[in-house]
Structure 1
């Protein structure tokens, strides 16, 4: 059981075994302050060309992705959004299909809320 009132670490290291996700319902033990159903946080470090080509959707969670560096493209049903300046972001509500591609080496901070098991799913078409 973690009883520390303040914890620290490295988002990239801690998320390495979970595709960058380092805070959310999936952290064990549940007494760890990083284990929460309130939100999920991902530190995504991507090489140019990395992509998620299968459409994905979150049934309950809203999502915001914020560019730290590089260039990152997100595809939605009705538009593409290119994050190209540090601080550029895109926010979408639950139920919105999306895919993405890293157009250059980049880092993207992504936050979803709430954090629910099985909420993010791949779908066969948009």
Structure 2
């Protein structure tokens, strides 16, 4: 059996994997491997945006603003997260994109953890 406790730093551990800390992409023998959930520590400079819309989503997502000002674009509305602790949840099947209005830190939790969703790195607009 692998580790039963892992201690790390989200900024350091997520740096090599686009901010993702926990999910199917972690080596199977690590405690951070999960097919149930994914967790991301997202650090976004001002003007950074998702490279393209996520479509055909098969996961539920929770996104919590830790710091900054962050916009989540959904098909029927835009959600602006401006106060630490603001959050949005969207269901499977809801397309989305995002944009960092100011330097922002967000915590994202998605479930389940499914392979095949990697997109191009974010872009500055």
Aligned partner of residue 17 in structure 1, secondary structure: helix
Residues 99 and 31 (structure 1), Cα distance of their counterparts in 2 relative to 1, 3 Å cut = same
What's the TM-score once normalised by structure 2's chain length?
0.89
- Compared with structure 1, are the counterparts of its residues 91 and 58 closer, same or farther at alpha carbon in structure 2 (3 Å cutoff)? farther
Residue 101 of structure 1 pairs with residue 99 of structure 2? yes
Q: Given that residues 59 and 120 in structure 1 are in contact (C-alpha distance below 8 angstroms), is that contact kept between their aligned partners in structure 2?
A: no
Question: Which residue is 1:68 aligned to?
Answer: 66
Structure 1 residue 57: Cα displacement: 2.9
Q: CA deviation at 1:121?
A: 6.6
Q: CA offset at residue 40 of structure 1? A: 0.3
CA displacement at 1:5 relative to structure 2: 2.2
Name structure 1 gaps, 5 residues minimum.
Answer: none
In the other structure, the counterpart of 1:91 is 89
Aligned match of 2:9: 10
| Residues 57 and 95 in structure 2, CA contact (< 8 A), matched pair in contact too | no
Q: Tell me how far apart the structure 1 counterparts of residues 46 and 52 of structure 2 sit (CA, whole Å).
A: 18
Q: CA deviation at 1:58?
A: 5.3
Q: Could you tell which deviates more after superposition, 46-55 or 102-111?
A: 46-55
Higher mean C-alpha displacement, 53-62 vs 16-25: 53-62
CA–CA separation in structure 1 for the residues paired with 2:118 and 2:90: 13
Identify the match of residue 50 of structure 1 among 31, 48, 51.
48
Query: Match of 1:22?
Result: 21
- How many angstroms does 1:116 deviate by? 1.0
Question: Aligned equivalents of 2:51 and 2:116: distance in 1?
Answer: 19
Question: Could you say what the CA RMSD is over the residues aligned between the two structures, in angstroms?
Answer: 1.7
